[in-house]
Structure 1
């Protein structure tokens, strides 16, 4: 018998990768005991990422929802974890140091045990402060390596990041394969490199299913020393989300690993409840296309977590682009036509902005640059003429160090617009703001 493999249910990410909503507090309270009853999960991802933002959009207090969802797992001895955007904390843009430090104390009090700290640029300067604050706040710091494929994202590149965050106190490493484009053999080699050097470090693999490599990747990382695998359950498994726990357990059991049994009666209850929650929202925020895997994602590398919002953006842009084409006497583009054009444009833009890993918020920035390019090309204006401050902030280094090299065309464009590049430690650009926020809360 091979080593024991544990499983995590990424219930938060299931919802937000298939759409952009999640169950209400009362629904989370109903599903938690059933997840526990399934008997196969050592961990559950309960919050973080877009959870708190979406809760607010739904008119709920996310603090109440996190406490309610974590409580049953805490009592059952199942660890809870959250997704943490490092410099951005729970936002889409940078957060001052004093707010980030306080967040970990708050999340620990709410019942979250582990924080998965990632940086969209893999800049350790944005991760390392959070390791210290997480420990001080009573949480386990798990540091993520955002996986992608490019000439600069080599095994040595990732091992260098792992060395730095482990030296800074990271107790676990997550291979965050947010687009599912990590090549299985590469992921296996990386897992072995980390385990051989740091056998005591827990390695958790998080791989989305979009392009179809995730099951092979899971097998490779497990055969090379991974400890925990992120999984999903029906009706939100597969598609752009994660492999189903039933299939993963079956595969690993057949490979000789020690794996838990699943209480299938509880699985079917959890499946039915999840479908009930979807029906309660009338499926408003789930694009049916997100249930379909697509090999087209291998080229552009866009992550599953943004597919819902991307398709909505594309639908709106299609109308505008087709109006331009009609005036020129050209045929209209179908959604499929435009989708392929967008994927091709992302492939064009991505290396020119320095190969930032395509994960929040940089996946959105690169996609938005590509989408705006499609419009301005149709208008005869060329590329890179509609970029906002966030997109420029990424290019100029204001969010951290870009892994690759910025294209000379963009360097020249920045110079013409009076913009300056920087290699400053991004979190030092922000001043503490807790007192201001407390004042604002009192006033409101």
Structure 2
């Protein structure tokens, strides 16, 4: 009788639902109850964006990680984290010395297993982390991002697993981040790996968004999987993961050996989790993430993106309909625009080399598709605006794309005088720890136990500075206050797009990121807003958005003149909002 063990993805449950994760005091409350449930051999405690999120609401992530891991360490339950290989715990690449330090810090904080993935499935970005993790005493779980295309076949994944195991991976994870891996294919992948390497532990992680995940779990169990990632209500299903009760019952009936669930503890964990939602976390959970949708099957976007995607769509929707109304054309409903976006993602994905649609590359593909839809509606060419991060992906600076770029994308790069990169992505990012060590000494900041504060500063520089200054907490309190007001607002009247009415002959420039607006610098390096009527050339930088992960440059889509500025210097802008209006020449 084959034994299947469960891992509770408590971190990912929250991040697939909304923006924030529980505070340290809340994690301290839920940990002993999770242990009392008696059915989990592993718990996902941290990683991904969760530690950055701690900083964003003014909490020290190192204290949160130690608080959450200790009860599980004491109970003999393994803890695991998610890391993004070359990108570490952030959206952009990390120097090698900072990556190496991460595993030493996380092992010291009580994290047993690191789940290492590359959003492009480039093993060159995973293998160094395997070595760093093992040297630090962690279990290196090398991860394959599952998606569905002509390129991403059973043979593709089996070959990738062979490279990872040969490089020293202790375990293999199938990360089905969008839940679009077909059950039969997943079963074949697991069976092939287990046949060749029966001693290698395999774990399956699948979101429920498009509806395949329960069937997928049964198939991989039959094929020999060892661990399944599960969730629990009230954050199961929807865009999250299947509930442990359902999976346990299914496997038990199929003849597998599975642990029993202490239902009294389950209900208490359920109650506590709901109390965290009621406290403040629920104000940042999009209701749409509670539902499954088969629309995700075609486009392959991860369910966890639906909240941000709908927010982006809302911002662009008003601008598109304003244009259509002015052109005496039929306006689009949100559903029509959503279908157009999904179709565009499906169309451009192979042209962009089939990057697995996982953070951050899912965001890049979605951003390009969203801009394409906006320009196509206006009768303008596809690819009129591609942001810098997306270009870095296309040019190979983050790793090798699985597929082949379409000739029109290659021609567009050549037109813009952009060079393709074929070397090791890590070579683009030299070591930086010495710089951070020197600054912490100068500022009198403690490097922390096991250098954990040094690590956080180097990994999340901007967010750590804001945390130390208190700005992060102040900003979060304002954000929470605004979210509460919005939640309880009684008005349902939708105001017309007054901005577009002010500039009937102009078109909007839309932000492709959320952050603070930085306008051009004068000769004293003082940021100034452009004057009304200023001439601007196509592709010229209009302004820059300071995001959580770096700078995004916003270019002009045409030759023209600036007739309206909608965002002031230093003002926070959300992705999809209008920055300015340009009147074409």
TM-score, normalised relative to structure 1: 0.98
User: In structure 1, what is the Cα distance between the partners aligned to 2:53 and 2:347?
Assistant: 32
User: What secondary structure is seen at the aligned counterpart in 1 of 2:284?
Assistant: coil
Q: Which consecutive residues of structure 1, in runs of 5 or more, have no partner in the other structure? A: none
- The aligned counterpart of 1:424 is 423
- The aligned counterpart of 2:515 is none
- The aligned counterpart of 1:163 is 162
* Native 8 Å contact 1:20 1:309 kept in 2: no
- The aligned counterpart of 1:308 is 307
User: In structure 2, what is the Cα distance between the partners aligned to 1:169 and 1:223?
Assistant: 26
User: What secondary structure is seen at the aligned counterpart in 2 of 1:284?
Assistant: helix
User: In structure 2, what is the Cα distance between the partners aligned to 1:191 and 1:52?
Assistant: 31
Deviation at 1:3, TM superposition (A): 0.7
* 1:3 aligns to 2:2 (yes or no): yes
Query: CA deviation digits over 1:310-334, x for unaligned, max 9?
Result: 2221221212222222221223322
User: In structure 2, what is the Cα distance between the partners aligned to 1:92 and 1:85?
Assistant: 8
* Native 8 Å contact 2:397 2:421 kept in 1: yes
User: In structure 1, what is the Cα distance between the partners aligned to 2:326 and 2:62?
Assistant: 51
User: In structure 2, what is the Cα distance between the partners aligned to 1:136 and 1:308?
Assistant: 38
User: In structure 2, what is the Cα distance between the partners aligned to 1:65 and 1:282?
Assistant: 16
Query: CA deviation digits over 1:172-228, x for unaligned, max 9?
Result: 000100000000000000000000000000000000000000010000000000000
User: In structure 2, what is the Cα distance between the partners aligned to 1:357 and 1:348?
Assistant: 15
User: In structure 2, what is the Cα distance between the partners aligned to 1:59 and 1:326?
Assistant: 44
CA RMSD of aligned residues (A): 1.0
- The aligned counterpart of 2:359 is 360
User: What secondary structure is seen at the aligned counterpart in 2 of 1:242?
Assistant: coil
- The aligned counterpart of 1:328 is 327
* Native 8 Å contact 1:45 1:81 kept in 2: yes
* Native 8 Å contact 2:95 2:426 kept in 1: yes
Query: CA deviation digits over 1:259-297, x for unaligned, max 9?
Result: 000000110111111111111116221111111100110
Return closer, same or farther for 1:375/1:442 CA change in 2, 3 Å cut-off: farther
User: In structure 2, what is the Cα distance between the partners aligned to 1:170 and 1:99?
Assistant: 21
User: In structure 2, what is the Cα distance between the partners aligned to 1:73 and 1:319?
Assistant: 48
Higher strand share: 2
User: In structure 2, what is the Cα distance between the partners aligned to 1:440 and 1:8?
Assistant: 40
Query: Number of matched residues?
Result: 443
User: In structure 1, what is the Cα distance between the partners aligned to 2:18 and 2:338?
Assistant: 18
* Native 8 Å contact 1:17 1:308 kept in 2: no
Query: CA deviation digits over 1:147-178, x for unaligned, max 9?
Result: 01111111111111111110111010001000
- The aligned counterpart of 2:280 is 281
From the CA coordinates, give the structure whose radius of gyration is larger: 2
Q: Which consecutive residues of structure 2, in runs of 5 or more, have no partner in the other structure? A: 444-585
- The aligned counterpart of 1:194 is 193
User: What secondary structure is seen at the aligned counterpart in 2 of 1:174?
Assistant: strand
- The aligned counterpart of 1:249 is 248
- The aligned counterpart of 1:346 is 345
Higher RCO, 1 vs 2 (CA within 8 Å, ≥6 residues apart): 1
- The aligned counterpart of 1:151 is 150
Query: CA deviation digits over 1:118-154, x for unaligned, max 9?
Result: 0000000000000000011111000111001111111
User: In structure 1, what is the Cα distance between the partners aligned to 2:176 and 2:91?
Assistant: 19
- The aligned counterpart of 1:44 is 43
- The aligned counterpart of 1:400 is 399
* Native 8 Å contact 1:13 1:305 kept in 2: no
After superposition, residues 53-132 of structure 1 pair within 5 angstroms as 53-132=52-131
User: In structure 1, what is the Cα distance between the partners aligned to 2:271 and 2:330?
Assistant: 45
* Native 8 Å contact 2:182 2:212 kept in 1: yes
* Native 8 Å contact 1:19 1:309 kept in 2: no
User: In structure 2, what is the Cα distance between the partners aligned to 1:383 and 1:441?
Assistant: 47
- The aligned counterpart of 1:20 is 19
- The aligned counterpart of 2:569 is none
* Native 8 Å contact 2:21 2:281 kept in 1: no
User: In structure 2, what is the Cα distance between the partners aligned to 1:156 and 1:443?
Assistant: 53
Deviation at 1:443, TM superposition (A): 4.6
* Native 8 Å contact 2:13 2:236 kept in 1: yes
User: In structure 2, what is the Cα distance between the partners aligned to 1:334 and 1:46?
Assistant: 40
- The aligned counterpart of 2:468 is none
After superposition, residues 169-318 of structure 1 pair within 5 angstroms as 169-281=168-280, 283-318=282-317
User: In structure 2, what is the Cα distance between the partners aligned to 1:282 and 1:99?
Assistant: 31
**Structure 1 residue runs of 4+, over 4 Å off?**
none
User: In structure 2, what is the Cα distance between the partners aligned to 1:277 and 1:59?
Assistant: 17
TM-score, normalised relative to structure 2: 0.75
Return closer, same or farther for 1:162/1:324 CA change in 2, 3 Å cut-off: same
Query: CA deviation digits over 1:1-52, x for unaligned, max 9?
Result: x211000000000000011211111001100000000000000001001101
User: In structure 2, what is the Cα distance between the partners aligned to 1:307 and 1:326?
Assistant: 27
* Native 8 Å contact 2:296 2:303 kept in 1: no
- The aligned counterpart of 2:501 is none
